[in-house]
Structures are given as C-alpha cells and as structure tokens.
Structure 1
Amino acid sequence: MTIRRRLYLTLEPTEKGGVLERIFEFFLISIIILNIFAVILDSVAELRSKHDALFVKFEFFTIIFFTLEYIARIYSIVENPEYSEPVKGRLKYMRQPMAIIDLLAFLPFYFVFIDLRFLRIFRLMSLFRLFKIARYLHALKIFKRVLTDRKEQLVLSFLFILFVLTIISFIMFYAEHDAQPDKFSSIPATMWWGIATITTVGYGDMVPITALGKFLGGLFAIAGVGLLALPAGILSSGFFELLHVDKSKEVKKCPHCGKEIHE
C-alpha cells in the first residue's frame, strides 16, 4: 500500500479503516473539542492573564496541525475515484463545503501579522473547527438528509411564519404607535416585539398597553405556539420516516465485494 493510499484511508471517515484510522479520528476530534474550550476559556480575563502563553502555544500547535491535515487531504484525495484527476480532481474537492471549512479553520490565522483591530474577528473563525467534526458524526449526516428531503416544506413553513409576523407587526404598529411612539416607532421595530412574542420569549422591553394591543398580543402569543410547531413537526416526521424505514425493502450488499445479496 502506498503512502498516499494510507493517508487517504486514515483521513477519510467514509472509508473503512483499522486501528490507526480510529486512533487518528479520536485524536482529531479531541483536538477540535479542546480548541473550542481554549477559545472559550481565553475569553475569561483572569485565565487569559495567567495562562496566556499556554493558550498561544496551543493555538500555534492547532494551526500547524490543521494545516498539515489539509495538505494531506489535498494530496491523498486523488485516491477517491471521484477526484482521481491530479489537478481537476483536487480543485473539485477544494470547492466542496467540508474542504472549505477545513481551509477556514486555519487560513485566517496566517494574517495575524497585520496589526489591525478588526482582524480580532478571526478568533471567531475557530468555530469552523467545530464543524470539522461533522464528517465523523453519523447523526449529523442523518440531519442533513432530513433537511434535504424536507427543504421545500421547511421553506414554505418559514415563509408562512414570516408572512404572519409581518401582518401582526403591521397591525400592532398602528395599534400602539400613538400610545408608545418611542418603542413602537416603526414596523421593523415592532417586528422585534413580534419575534419575542411568537417564540414565547417575552423579553418585556416592548409591551402593548392599549386594549387592542393587548388583545392582538394575546392572540399572537397563542398562535405562535402553533406556528413554531410547523417546522418542528416537519422535521420530526422526516426523522421518523428516515429512521423507521422498512428494512425489508433495503437492498443488502456484500461487505466485501459490494454486490447485492439475493435471498
């Protein structure tokens, strides 16, 4: 087995591997989780002042590790028949969502030599490292399939919620604007009240005081429970159908040759 083939089997979770592949997978996930914890703890002033050198060293190690991992993936991806062409295949893989996430997990940090305050936003790019775990979690793949299968229903449900939110905010604006011009100053500002109400959060920063406003607020609060249940119901039915598919209808394949097994 060539070194490139070994790298591909080690880095690609969809390929069946041995002990070495499982060890690397565990190590990679551990590095990602520890990195996210480091970003969180680094935001605590006391911890940052005491352990700043440790955070910097761990960040440096993480950047180098993810850089080498990305280079290894680009180098070995030609072992996949879909990306078998040396140049076009690698360029095609580099445009894939997970490959872009891999790149964003480390690339911005090579620009830290630019002394500009706005580059501190690159610290948020560390969150992309969390998405790297997605390729190793079967549950996220199931969630992606459900979103793909039910995307039309979900879009329609969210559009309906937005439509109702706009209508109720429009009416509430004219019901409360004269009584509270500072809070219900415009329809977009009133939509903030609508979002807090439809989600039953109720921050309390905008509260109707007129009789009509209270009546509409009560109706919208009750309707909000049912409106938000629409996307939840769509997702739950999608998960149920996917997880409770009739196993007898599934085609059984040989784990060795990949051909169908007939009874």
Structure 2
Amino acid sequence: MKKKVFNIIQIGDKSNRLSRLFDIFIAIVICANILVTFLQTFDELAFLFPAFHAIEVITILIFCVEYILRIWTADYLYPDKSEFRSRLRFLISFDGIIDLLTILPFFFLSGMVIFRMLRVARIFHLFRLNARYDSFNVITTVLYEKRNQIISSVFIVLILMLASSLCMYSVEHDSQPEVFRNAFSGIWWSMSTLLTVGYGDIYPITTLGRIMAICIAYLGVGAVAIPTGIISAGFVEQYQRKSSLSNIKEADIHEIAEIFVDKRFAGKSVEEMEEAEQVTIFLILREDLSILPQKDTILRLNDIIVIRGEHS
C-alpha cells in the first residue's frame, strides 16, 4: 500500500496515470488556494469571505494530508537511508520545508507577522510542483550545476556595488548631503545602476560623479552578462544531454549514448534499468564522481549514465 501511495503522489511520474491525475489535482488545489489568498485582500468581496475561508480550510486540509503521506513514504524517496533518516531528510529538504511553510500560516494567521508573511510560500508550492517536470527540471538542474560560477559572479557584483557606493559617496556627499548621507546610502543607487534598472530617484549631479556613473553603468552591463552567459551555456549542455532521454524506450541506440536520469529511473538499480530498457550501462557520472556500475548500484536523480543498446 505504501509503495502504491508513493507512486501516486510522486511528482512528475509520467508513467503512472494516477500520479499524473494527482499532480493535476494538486495543481488545481494550489491555484485555488493562491487565488483565494489574493481575493481575500479585496474589501469589495467581503460578502464572499465565508466562502473563501471554506475553500482555504479545504485546501489546507488537502495539503496536510499530502504532507503526512509524503513523510510516511519518504523511505521510498530515499531508499539508501533508514526509515527514520529518510523521513528526517524529507523534513529538512526543499520540498518538505515548502510543504510545511504552506500549512503553518493558516494556523498562525492571527499571531506574529512573520507567520502571516509565510502565506507567500504557497506560491512556491506551485513552483515545487512544476520543478519536477522535465521542462522546468532543466532550469533547476542548470542552476545547481552552475552554482559555483553563479555564486562567483554574484560575489563580483556585490564587490562592484560596494566599491561604487563608496566612490559615489566620496564624490557626491558634499553636494548632496541629504541624498548621500553615508556609504550605505549609495548602495541603493549602485544596485539600480549596476543592474541596469535606473529608477532615477537618486542620481549624481557633479561632473565627476556623472563620469563615474557612466563607467559604473558600463560595468553593470558586463556584470549582468556574466551570469547570463553561464546559465545560457548550461542550458545548451543540459539539452544536449537530455536529447535522447525522452525517447529512450523507442530509440534504437546503435552507438554509445549519454543520457540523463529522471524520475522514471531514479531509485532503480543498474540491473533493473538494464533489464527494463535492454541497455548496458558502462559508466555513471554523479556530480564530480565517475562510478563503475555494479548490478546493485542505485541510480540517483540527475545522474548521467553512459549506455549502449544490447540489440545494436
């Protein structure tokens, strides 16, 4: 029973019709919950508030049931861990935290402001659902694989922001003491300039300040282009890896191919994969590791496997 429940509530399992229907149902529930949250802010709809509250209660109860079922079946999500450790892993995972933050605000809406603000987490619940499908999973995978380069580029932007803030304060403080009161007052200006937003609420008026602003604006264009190029290159690499994945069952692989492990194969052993798909797995690429496959080696989500069709 637990295995069947896990297969149904598993997000993005295209091979299971009940799972697809459950995903659609949960998506409708999430959209209804978010819509009610927005409509409750309109005083003109006060006469509908009781109905909105009833919808909110029903959707939150559905979220609670889903959350409990995911905790109960967590040992299938993390088969390499014990039952207790797998449930603990789910509770502290992104999915588990988003699920919890989706539920908590309903019970603490009359309490601290921070709990009322957590209603925004319901929107991320929809993001969590979409992230399990192939088209959206490409984005999350690219961001994860390129995280070090992206963090480095963001660090460069922060350095430029602080440096430009200090420079602009030094030049503009005497002319605009109320605008550039201290070094941190220029951070808002440097953020809008480096990120090419340009709100125009704070701007230099001295000749030297304007010259510096021109240089900083050009640096901002280059700084924004760095993470854009990194992510774009990551998308190209990712789509090349996944090019043969969606049609693996129908594909006639005559040569060695490199494919991406998605939800259909994650958690299966090498032996199960080879028997089910009639392929031979030569190598598993897992993050920075190269693993020689054994029959009982468990495939993980986002693994890259080097295969060849046995019928070739």
Task: Report the equivalent of 1:42.
Answer: 40
Cα distance 1:195–1:27, how it changes in 2: closer, same or farther (>3 A)?
same
Task: Report the equivalent of 2:31.
Answer: 33
Higher deviation after alignment, 245-254 or 119-128: 245-254
What is the CA distance between 1:88 and its match in structure 2?
A: 3.5
**C-alpha distance in structure 2 between counterparts of 1:224 and 1:243, whole Å:** 29
Q: TM-score, normalised by structure 1?
A: 0.87
Percent of matched pairs sharing the same residue: 30
1:83–1:90 Cα contact (<8 Å) kept: no
**C-alpha distance in structure 2 between counterparts of 1:93 and 1:200, whole Å:** 39
What is the CA distance between 1:20 and its match in structure 2?
A: 2.0
2:90–2:96 Cα contact (<8 Å) kept: yes
Task: Report the equivalent of 1:226.
Answer: 222
What is the CA distance between 1:237 and its match in structure 2?
A: 0.7
2:221 counterpart letter in structure 1: V
Counterpart of 1:96 (choices 86, 93, 98) is: 93
Higher deviation after alignment, 50-59 or 246-255: 246-255
2:211 aligned with 1:191, yes or no? no
2:160 counterpart letter in structure 1: V
Cα distance 1:258–1:103, how it changes in 2: closer, same or farther (>3 A)?
farther
1:151 counterpart letter in structure 2: R
- What whole-Å deviation, never above 9, does each CA across 1:110-129 have from its counterpart, x for those lacking one? 334x6566653343343343
List 4+ stretches of structure 1 deviating above 4 A: 14-17, 114-119, 251-255
What is the CA distance between 1:175 and its match in structure 2?
A: 0.8
**C-alpha distance in structure 2 between counterparts of 1:178 and 1:161, whole Å:** 27
Structure 1: unaligned runs, 5 residues or longer? none
Calculate the aligned-residue CA RMSD, in Å.
2.6
2:171 aligned with 1:175, yes or no? yes
What is the CA distance between 1:215 and its match in structure 2?
A: 1.0
2:127 aligned with 1:131, yes or no? yes
Q: Which is richer in strand? A: 2
Q: TM-score, normalised by structure 2?
A: 0.74
What is the CA distance between 1:71 and its match in structure 2?
A: 1.3
- What whole-Å deviation, never above 9, does each CA across 1:223-250 have from its counterpart, x for those lacking one? 2112111111110011111112475631
What is the CA distance between 1:195 and its match in structure 2?
A: 0.8
**C-alpha distance in structure 1 between counterparts of 2:136 and 2:85, whole Å:** 29
2:172–2:209 Cα contact (<8 Å) kept: yes
2:152 counterpart letter in structure 1: L
**C-alpha distance in structure 2 between counterparts of 1:190 and 1:140, whole Å:** 37
Structure 2: unaligned runs, 5 residues or longer? 245-255, 261-272, 281-308
2:77–2:86 Cα contact (<8 Å) kept: no
Task: Report the equivalent of 2:22.
Answer: 24
2:70 aligned with 1:69, yes or no? no
**C-alpha distance in structure 1 between counterparts of 2:154 and 2:134, whole Å:** 27
SS of the residue 2:73 aligns to: helix
**C-alpha distance in structure 2 between counterparts of 1:237 and 1:22, whole Å:** 32
Cα distance 1:165–1:122, how it changes in 2: closer, same or farther (>3 A)?
closer
Alignment of 1:144-183 (within 5 A): 144-183=140-179
2:209 aligned with 1:213, yes or no? yes
**C-alpha distance in structure 2 between counterparts of 1:83 and 1:110, whole Å:** 35
2:104 counterpart letter in structure 1: L
